Chain A
Amino acid sequence: AQSVTQPDIHITVSEGASLELRCNYSYGATPYLFWYVQSPGQGLQLLLKYFSGDTLVQGIKGFEAEFKRSQSSFNLRKPSVHWSDAAEYFCAVGPNQAGTALIFGKGTTLSVSS
């Protein structure tokens, strides 16, 4: 079955420190991979996406993610976290097929301490 696992429910990082949020997926073929961020009371905003090609993708707000096929992972990273990055982060997987909804992980809550 298709699934997305985000092992960390809650992470606290000091402002200025680096960040890595983990995401593992189970999928029968090469999927499309996404990271979304949801700030309190807000909708979901796309941070970055991977379809093919270079396995290191750059996104908005200084985020990047690396696709590792051998590990079925798509971890999100940021070298220096800002207080405004505190939010809920969702990894999602989608098929290479139009008209099909995304499958989301359970999310990781990021808290940033000063």
Chain B
Amino acid sequence: SAVISQKPSRDICQRGTSLTIQCQVDSQVTMMFWYRQQPGQSLTLIATANQGSEATYESGFVIDKFPISRPNLTFSTLTVSNLSPEDSSIYLCSVEGQWNTEAFFGQGTRLTVV
């Protein structure tokens, strides 16, 4: 199994600012995934972060708005830039288990933009 520490757990930010979310895993993983969960909605994949290469973004998500860093095999950050109230969501990082047998999730970051 993998233990994921995600910070911060919650934050309230002013519109126009940015928030950087950190995700630390207790073991080395190839892929890390970032999801967004809007209020009352399911999880939507934002991007896949592979160490040593640019993140791959899903349709509707762009690097300028959601820049991702992946400096090593245990850490990643997601920045949500130029915040607007529509960005108020829970953001979760995830890693897969061995042989893609399970996905492990951080506790999530609850972002409120005011």
Q: Count of chain B residues with Cβ under 8 Å from any Cβ of A?
A: 25
CB-CB contacts below 8 Å: A70-114 with B: 90, 92, 94-107
Whether B42 contacts A104 by the Cβ 8 Å rule is yes
Q: Count of chain A residues with Cβ under 8 Å from any Cβ of B?
A: 26
Whether A98 contacts B33 by the Cβ 8 Å rule is no
Whether B102 contacts A43 by the Cβ 8 Å rule is no
21 contacts between A and B (CB under 8 A): A32-B101, A41-B110, A43-B105, A43-B108, A44-B43, A44-B103, A46-B102, A49-B101, A49-B102, A51-B101, A96-B100, A97-B100, A98-B96, A98-B100, A99-B96, A101-B35, A101-B45, A101-B94, A102-B103, A104-B43, A107-B42
- Other than A99-B100, A100-B100, A101-B103, give 11 A-B pairs with Cβ distance below 8 A: A42-B107, A43-B4, A43-B106, A43-B108, A46-B103, A90-B42, A98-B31, A99-B96, A101-B35, A104-B43, A106-B42
